[in-house]
Amino acid sequence: MYTDYAVNYRANVSVELVDKCISGMKRGKAAGLDRLTVEHILYSHPVLVVHLSVLFNILLAYGVVPYAFGHGVIMPLIKDADGD
């Protein structure tokens, strides 16, 4: 877990900002380590956007980022000479 000691209590991630970011995400991408795709978030109940907004505000207020937020999957794609 990363902790920043410069706490920022003035951070405000609005529900509208989270909704705008979610609606702007590209569809059809591979799932992450948690097996969630963009479509799961896009088609979920609207209250999820409120909960995400609260979560992001708490993370910014306390200057803490969960360790798992830094994990990801990298898949190398091998191309042949034809570019396929």
Q: Which amino acid is at 40?
A: H
Per-residue model confidence (pLDDT) at position 49: 96
Predicted TM-score (pTM) of the model is: 0.72
CB within 8 Å of 24: residues ≥ 6 apart:
none
Per-residue model confidence (pLDDT) at position 40: 94
Confidence of residue 74 (pLDDT cuts 50, 70, 90): confident
| ∠ Cα 58 61 67 (to 5°) | 65
E strands within the chain? 2-3, 64-65
Confidence of residue 83 (pLDDT cuts 50, 70, 90): low
Cβ(12)–Cβ(69) under 8 Å? no
CB within 8 Å of 67: residues ≥ 6 apart:
1, 2
Cβ(12)–Cβ(51) under 8 Å? no
